[in-house]
Amino acid sequence: MILKAFRRRRTGGILSALGLSVLLCTPGAQLAHASKNAQLPDWVMRAAAATGSWGDARAVVLLDDTLLTVDAEGKATERDRMVVKILRPEGRSYAMPAVAFSNDGKLESFHVWSIGPDGHRYAMKDSEYVDVGVDASGEGILYNDERVRTASPPGADPGGIVAWEDTTQVPSYMSEDWWDFQGDIPIADTAFEIDLPPGWHQRAVWSRHEPELPTEVAPNQFRWEMQNVRPINLANVSLAPDWNALAGWMSVHYSANPVPDGGALWAQIGDWYQGLASPQSEGGTDIASEARSIAPGDDFMSKLENVANFMQQQIRYVGIEIGIGNLKPHSAEEVFRNRYGDCKDKATLMIAMLDAVGIRATWVAVDHRRGVVNPAAPSILADHVIIAIRIPAGYQNPLLQAVVTAKTGQRYLIFDPTNQWVPIGQLPDYEQGGYGLLVAGTDSQVIQLPVLNPNLESTDRTANFQLAADGTLTGEVTMQRYGALADDWRDALEMDSEKDQRQLIERFLQNDLSTFTLGTESAENILALEKPLELHYEVTAPLYAKQAGNLLLVRPRVLGSDGWSLIDKPRRYPISFPGVETLTDTFNLRIPPGYTVDDVPDPVNVDAGFATYRSEVKAEGAVLHYQRELVLKQVTLPPSDYAELMKLNAAITTDENSDAVLRKQ
Amino acid sequence: MALSLCLSFLACAPLFASEWSQPTPDQLKMTSDPAAPNAPAVFLYYEEIVDDKMHFHKVYAEVKILNEKGKEDFSEIEIPYESGEASITVDQVQGRTIEPDGTVVPFTGKPYQKELLKMGTEKVMEKVFSLPDLRVGSIIEYQYTINYDQYWYEPPRWMIQQQYYVHEAHYHFAPTDSSIPIISTDAQGHENPVNHLLFFHSLPHGAQVRSGFDGFDLVVDNIPALPDEPYTPPLGSFSYRVIFYYSPYDSGQEFWKAEGKYWSKDVDRFAEPSGRIRAIVAQIVSPGDSEEQKLEKIYAAVMTVENTDFTREHSQQENRAEGQKDKRAADIWVNKRGNSNEITRLFIAMARAAGLKTYAMIVTERNQNMLNLGYLYWGQLSDEIAIVNVNGKEQYFDPGERYCEYGKVDWLHHQMMGIRQTDDGTTVAEVPIALYTDNSILRTADLMLGVNGAVQGQIRIILTGAEALRWRQYALANDEEATKKAFQKEIQADVPAGVLVKTDHFLALTDYTSNLMAVLDVSGSMGTETGKRVFVPASFFEANATPLFSTQERESPVDLHYPFIARDQVTLTLAPGLTVEGVPANAQIPYPHMADYQAAYGGKGSLYEENRLLAVANTLYETTDYPQLRGFFQKVGAQDQQQVVLERVAVAAAAAPPLGAVAK
């Protein structure tokens, strides 16, 4: 209720002299030399004249027009034109011209124009633009060569229009370009055009949209157009898939040779990537020696575990991405020597180490945002690389859960060496159910990553509590977390100091207990990935039970919330859970002497198909037994299941907030 | 030749050590540090050597990695610097990792050079590198040198207290030869010949900057890490540090007087009650108005001016396109647009034109910085407010905070020290403290509960002071629709599970002279049931709230920002078939001289009523006060979780409402 603060900073002052962030946020007032009432290009004026009804949108893209020109040597340049109208104050952020470029994708030109709400027209000058290095250090990227040129155009207020045009070179190793025709604001008019040299071929693939045929506006020059594209706005949409997994896009593959379709195109992309990455996985004797040292013997599983453990514990995540380094891994030798690398580097080193101990593995290009990789749209689009390990024919081991079978019949164990907390055999929850490109030469294919059994992804909380007549609750709690879903707690507990660990538990308890004291606490098996993560702690919560006359009200569900924050509105988008899981709570609560149980909440038993929830409170003598179980069996649901999810959630919420009534004898 | 001296910030202080250190066996095998039990990493040794004669800063660091977070934090070493007029370069970057078994792994690569920002001829660059084979238990060492050209002087800013515990540190500064003429450019753009080398220091007990023939030295040990906790005062203003600077001034008194004079002159020039201003004021006030009436009218007029700090700063070209010239107070009025300080100066000009004795004051922002008079740097001050003598009594105004109520100042400026104009110059002054009655929240809910738990009704929330200002300014930066959503989101977070709130409308969202009112509709369901009874939260507005402080330990003081009083009045009418069986006992939770809480519950038949009051009078708490403060909010939180017991009773068949019906 209190102590909220939305703050903007006044201009000037000591801090403005100190920070880059302030520099970046400051509009270009001090630089502004834009010419007033400039002559604006016709395409800007035509787009600016557009009228329409865009509801409560913050801004609207009046024009987004891309022209990709490929010359006979395959050198490509892309020219983008954009016109944005600001409709509401929050829309200003959409009218920030920006173009990314790099050493391999040089920026050839950048121009910005604007029309103020009062009709004044401005053309900005080159000296007014700002280049900003793309800072991905938060994602562990030490260095990349990407930069963004941007500007703060005059007149960018509600009612104002900002337009820009940029031309960039397409890196020579790319043969695919994207048309993102859907945004989170309306797009009134958008087009993508490709101008190919005679004899060249193109293949368009579509994601989240029915394919549309282009117009051949000139020989071997194709143009696709769309009008009034509805936005995807996920604000206040709970359990939403990633925005990028919902928005429609088209990509065009171009080549001097015919471009295949479907699975053949996936295979071609995979084969190309194999050619790029494979030489990097040729490890030297030092790698082989280390691999044989840490993974001796013949047992397939123990070799896997040892190499995986080495990758997870000894090779830290540091990314250095220059030019094609966005796609091509560093050599295994370099990664091994430095003991660091990014996801593709780690995958490459692991492939080399496994190879040294006789296990074959390959790369899988995935996206950590489930649903972004679309099997219907063959593309290099992905943001993460993991590995697929060949399982010997006939080999069976219950520890191998994340298994897929390729079209060739080869079984693969999918593993992510970048996630240091998910043991080999399992898969991080955010990757489960998504798709990826299995790199296997001409046998490359798109595969669906497995969704693990919810029984393996479980959290068990058990506790014994004692309630005093003054309402004070004391007890000991144990939490056991099994499977890939334990990765967040393992990470937090391993990263944190003892003080931070206590605060982590305190923040968790704060959700359910208004006043409490955390007693001793300990965590076990943080690094022992093959064992469940265990957390033990003692807690005392004064005033837990509430007096109402001669009644004492006590909530049997002392800790933990299994429900979701849902909004009671018609659902347009699919539902996405972090992962499948089973959550169980078993609490025993001894009531104070002199009290009897007068009333307990009714049992709950809901089967929603995709999930079940059971809960029961029983009184046995002076002990209240509370037991519940939520089993979530699917990672994604269609929008039509939202009503059922709401019902389930209501049942959980009611159960969690229900009180038992104790009466003084 | 006069050389220019830049007192601006150098992005990162530099380092030095001629040779690597040799860690002790204890340091190598250390897995935790008793001196810093919770530290992710500690500086075993840190050194900064600055030589303004030779124009370099050198930095050397020896760091013990104690856990995964420490490994992550030191995975990348970043050295940012500005590449512009000073021709700064970063050289001699070296590093190595020493494993717990003593194995040394040298950094053999080259650091990468990143361009972080390029604006005209100015560039902000960064050199980055990652040390090899870094693991928990490793000791890393790195060093680098920042060189700047011979016409540039950069006295050091030694930030002694850092994010990590420091076992031992050495700092050395060799200033430039005093015979070299240097011109200092101050924060207000005035150039003066430098006469002195001064330094501001805040050091632990016993630590001392020693002056020798070759400069200044400081040796410190066992420096605790800066705490990182919510609701802290700006700790950066209190941390251990030494800041050197060349200055034209002999003393702080002289500095603040002279710089205050510059600032005051600038204010008076801008806020001159010119003929244009007088003509404007003449149209706003009437000759017969009292001083108070004049000021209220002027304040109201100024409040209509667009504050670009909430919208968008406009470029000079834009201003010119719209006919704006060199800015003076009258231009701000004519164009109806200015930033916070410009609008404050407009108010001052107009008040002066109306014959009111009016002064400007410049202060810091409470959540960012606190004025330290021992540090002779004007740039500490940022926000201007106005002081007007009305009927012989000085009143403080904050017209730069658009929609701030007349006669009040934003909480960011309360109790802040600054420099104010006086009749004969400037002086140090402090903005008065706010009272809890200045910031009030009244929440009323009139609700009806159906037999099946369906709830309907309306909420009215009336805000004054800081909360009203917060929402009005939110609406300025966004718009009313966005504000409605944000407002209901905050209320929604704390009301009982199942209850849905939706903002219907605001009253006086842009009228600071009235209380801000929000009206919200309530729907959804509320309460839980057993076979015999139904339970509903006793405190409707706080049923789902979590107490302010969860953690038991606290290292830093607490700043609750502003005092306030919050009252809740809830009426719940029950449908036939439900009757109140029991309500919680009334409660009072005092925190003498600091805060108070009272809750009263009434229930009879089909009506339940709740009256709740929470007042926080004091906002600043020492660390030693924390257990009491946390205890107060925890008790309040526990009281707010009380339940009302409703009983199901039989109703005549004819009168029984259908399932889900709500009492009318």
For A181-197, give the DSSP string.
Answer: ---SS-EEEEEEEEEPP
Do the Cβ atoms of B530 and A152 come within 8 Å? no
pLDDT tens digits, one per residue of A455-471: 999 999 999 999 999 99
**A281 class by beta-carbon count within 10 Å (0-12 exposed, 13-18 middle, 19+ buried):** buried
Q: How many CA atoms lie within 13 A of B339 on its CB side?
A: 17
Do the Cβ atoms of A116 and B318 come within 8 Å? yes
Interface test with A, best of B33, B128, B315, B647 (most A CBs within 10 A): B315
**pLDDT band per the 50, 70, 90 thresholds, residue A78:** very high
**pLDDT band per the 50, 70, 90 thresholds, residue A497:** confident
pLDDT at A495: 84
pLDDT at B88: 87
How confident is the model over A394-406, as a mean pLDDT? Answer: 96
Do the Cβ atoms of A20 and B117 come within 8 Å? yes
Question: What strands, in cross-sheet order, belong to the sheet with B499-507?
Answer: B499-507, B516-524, B455-463, B440-449, B564-574, B607-616, B595-604, B587-591
Size of interface A-B (CB pairs under 8 A): 314
pLDDT tens digits, one per residue of A196-244: 999 999 999 999 999 999 999 999 999 999 999 999 999 889 999 999 9
Nearest CB partner across the interface for A1, out of B134, B316, B566: B566
B119 touches A: beta carbon within 8 Å: yes
Which residues of chain B are modeled with pLDDT < 70? 1-18, 85, 178-179, 324-326, 652-664
pLDDT tens digits, one per residue of A514-554: 889 999 999 999 989 989 999 999 999 998 998 877 889 99
The b/e string for A282-315 (b: 16+ C-beta within 10 A; e otherwise) is ebeeebeebbeeebeeeebeebbbbbbbbbbeeb
Chain B segment 121-160 residues within 8 A of A by beta carbon are: 124, 126, 128-130, 132-135
pLDDT higher than 90, residue A315: yes
pLDDT at B530: 78
Do the Cβ atoms of A32 and B566 come within 8 Å? no
A527 touches B: beta carbon within 8 Å: no
The amino acid that residue B389 corresponds to is: N
Backbone angles phi, psi at A625, to 5 degrees: -105, 125
**pLDDT band per the 50, 70, 90 thresholds, residue A21:** very low
Do the Cβ atoms of A27 and B311 come within 8 Å? no
Which residues of chain B neighbour A130 with C-beta distances below 8 Å?
117-119
Residue with tokens 């009302």: B644
Interface test with B, best of A349, A527, A657, A659 (most B CBs within 10 A): A657
In angstroms, the CA B371 to CA B390 distance is 28
Query: For chain A, what is the mean pLDDT?
Result: 91
Do the Cβ atoms of B317 and A140 come within 8 Å? no
Nearest CB partner across the interface for A156, out of B187, B312, B638: B312
Do the Cβ atoms of A32 and B134 come within 8 Å? no
**Who's near B147: CB < 8 A, 6+ residues apart?**
B55, B56, B88, B89, B90, B91
Q: Could you give the percent of chain A with pLDDT greater than 70?
A: 95
Which residues of chain A neighbour B37 with C-beta distances below 8 Å?
497-499
How confident is the model over A82-93, as a mean pLDDT? Answer: 95
Which residues of chain B neighbour A549 with C-beta distances below 8 Å?
581-582, 645
Which residues of chain B neighbour A340 with C-beta distances below 8 Å?
75, 130, 132, 134
pLDDT at B325: 67
Q: Give me Rg for the CA atoms of chain A.
A: 29
A553 touches B: beta carbon within 8 Å: yes
Cα four-point dihedral sign B130, A139, B146, B61:
negative
DSSP H or E run through B90: strand B89-98
Chain A segment 203-222 residues within 8 A of B by beta carbon are: none
pLDDT at B178: 61
The 3-state DSSP class for residue B39 equals coil
Interior CA angle at A419 toward A414 and A423, to 5°? 60
- Name which residue leads in pLDDT, A37 or B487: B487
Chain B segment 454-473 residues within 8 A of A by beta carbon are: 467, 470, 473
pLDDT at B319: 77
Residue with tokens 């157009």: A225
B219 touches A: beta carbon within 8 Å: no
pLDDT at A73: 94
Do the Cβ atoms of B119 and A496 come within 8 Å? no
Q: Please list the helix, strand and coil fractions of chain A in percent, rounded to the nearest 5, in that order.
A: 25, 35, 40
Tokens of B36: 């810093």
pLDDT higher than 70, residue A179: yes
pLDDT at B657: 44
Chain A segment 574-613 residues within 8 A of B by beta carbon are: 599-602
A117-126, A437-446, B35-44, B652-661, range with the lowest pLDDT: B652-661
pLDDT at B393: 95
pLDDT at A36: 58
- What region does B323 belong to: left with phi over 0, alpha with psi -120 to 50, or beta? left
Chain A segment 296-325 residues within 8 A of B by beta carbon are: 314, 316-318, 320
pLDDT higher than 50, residue A25: no
**pLDDT band per the 50, 70, 90 thresholds, residue A35:** low
Q: ipTM value of the model?
A: 0.85
